[in-house]
């Protein structure tokens, strides 16, 4: 029996960090165990905010290499760049004919910009380009094109899947047959919350992130900067209230977690020693990833070949969906 299809979009937004690794990359790669998994670099989506060509190209390559270094196996899954699949844009154009403007007006990202502009007494559409406004249609095309059964998303992204469902159903209702598969959202309820250097959730926007592929020296320096309280060395400490320990748990074995928690509670261990323990387990897991990442980045032609092979596998699937739609619409007779 054929496995269901999952689709994961990866926006190239700069260097990956540990929060991305546990919150997005690892859960997404787990899908390959149970689904026919497809992953794509959403480079055209990135154009809405990233206009510097050198920066965009660098981000595309870093993110692609980062996912490959983290365990994405291009021989087991389909991995491609969105811009390598022209059928995405043909399908998006056809879907536009079935998408109401009112639906686009309700998109969260667009509404947030309008609200911010209204609060500043600016033109409601200031700073809104058509790429941002029609973003949900292009995303729907990304999803629908590959007959996706499920799309893993956080709760804040469910609206995008609901819009894709609405558009696909409008097409199917018009032609009175199942021209397009209606996707479902696979909501990640238990995404790991990774503490940053200052104790808040790790995020580039907070400036508290630890880069996933930082070299050993930089990694140790960042970990030693983690914010702690003023408890003395001899005091007993609650591991579950320590950001150092919470991050440690993501990298350490159950036995290591229990041993370090006991040392916290017994007293006699200072924060610098706890940070050294954290560095040890983090570096142990990330050093092999760092080595693979550096090798992939150094072999630019090899990375291009990986993405080109992914596009070769993706395009026949995409073409079949577009042909099915064109025939239903009366364009291909």
Per-residue pLDDT of 230-250, as tens digits, reads 899 999 999 999 999 999 999
Q: Are residues 149 and 13 in the same domain?
A: yes
pLDDT of residue 333: 60
Residue 1 has pLDDT above 60, yes or no: no
The residues, any chain, with a CB within 8 Å of residue 251's CB and separated by 6 or more, are 278, 281, 282, 284, 285
Mean pLDDT of 22-27: 91
Q: Based on the fold, state whether residues 264 and 281 are members of the same structural domain.
A: yes
Higher-pLDDT residue of 157, 76: 76
Residues 316 and 287 in one domain: no
pLDDT at 180: 98
Average pLDDT over residues 72-98: 97
In a domain, 73, yes or no: yes
Whether 168 has a pLDDT exceeding 80, the answer reads yes
User: Tens digit of pLDDT for each residue in 249-291?
Assistant: 999 999 999 999 999 999 999 999 999 999 999 999 999 999 9
Q: Is the dihedral of CA 20, 56, 75, 185 positive or negative?
A: positive
- The pLDDT, as a whole number, for residue 98 is 97
- Domain range holding 279? 213-293
Instruction: Report d(CA 191, CA 173) in Å as an integer.
Output: 36
Looking at the structure, tell me whether residues 321 and 259 fall in a common domain: no
Please indicate whether residue 51 is annotated as part of the active site.
Answer: no
Q: Output the six-digit token pair for 33.
A: 């165990």
- Does residue 275 have an active-site annotation? no
Mean pLDDT for the chain overall: 94
Q: Which is catalytic among the residues 51, 101, 120, 217?
A: 120
**For residues 169 and 115, what is the distance between their CA atoms, to the nearest angstrom?**
30
Question: By the 8 A CB rule, do 297 and 65 touch?
Answer: yes
Which residue is catalytic, options 4, 11, 26, 204? 204
pLDDT (0 to 100) of residue 13 = 80
**Edge-to-edge strands of the sheet including 5-10?**
78-81, 36-41, 5-10, 150-153, 184-187
| 204 in active site | yes
Exactly one of 4, 201, 249, 313 is catalytic; which is it?
201
The count of structural domains within the chain is 2
> Do residue 76 and residue 104 come from a single domain?
yes
* 101, 11: one domain: yes
């Amino acid at each position: 029996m054929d496995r269901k299809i999952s689709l994961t979009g990866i926006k190239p937004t700069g260097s990956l960090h540990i929060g991305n690794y546990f919150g997005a990359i690892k859960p997404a790669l787990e899908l390959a165990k149970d689904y026919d998994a497809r992953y794509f670099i959403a480079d055209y989506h990135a154009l809405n905010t990233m206009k510097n060509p050198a920066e965009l190209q660098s981000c595309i390559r870093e993110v692609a290499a980062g996912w490959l270094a983290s365990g994405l196996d291009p021989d087991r899954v389909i991995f491609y760049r969105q811009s390598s699949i022209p059928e995405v844009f043909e399908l998006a154009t056809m879907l536009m004919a079935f998408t109401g403007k009112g639906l686009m007006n309700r998109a969260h990202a667009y509404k947030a910009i309008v609200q911010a502009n209204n609060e500043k007494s600016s033109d409601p559409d200031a700073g809104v380009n058509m790429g941002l406004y029609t973003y949900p249609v292009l995303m729907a095309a990304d999803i629908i094109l590959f007959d996706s059964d499920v799309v893993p998303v956080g709760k804040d992204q469910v609206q995008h899947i609901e819009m894709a469902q609405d558009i696909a159903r409008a097409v199917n209702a018009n032609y009175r047959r199942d021209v397009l598969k209606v996707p479902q959202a696979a909501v990640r309820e238990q995404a790991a919350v990774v503490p940053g250097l200052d104790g808040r959730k790790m995020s580039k926007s907070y400036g508290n992130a630890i880069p996933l592929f930082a070299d050993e020296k930089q990694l140790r320096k960042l970990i030693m900067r983690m914010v702690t309280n003023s408890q003395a060395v001899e005091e007993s400490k609650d591991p579950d209230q320590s950001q150092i320990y919470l991050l440690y748990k993501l990298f350490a074995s159950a036995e290591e977690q229990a041993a370090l928690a006991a040392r916290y509670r017994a007293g006699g261990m200072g924060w610098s020693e706890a940070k050294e323990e954290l560095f040890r387990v983090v570096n142990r897991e990330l050093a092999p990833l760092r080595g693979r990442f550096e090798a992939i980045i150094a072999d630019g032609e090899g990375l291009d070949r990986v993405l080109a092979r992914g596009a070769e596998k993706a395009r026949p699937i995409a073409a079949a969906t577009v042909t099915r739609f064109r025939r239903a619409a009366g364009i291909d007779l």
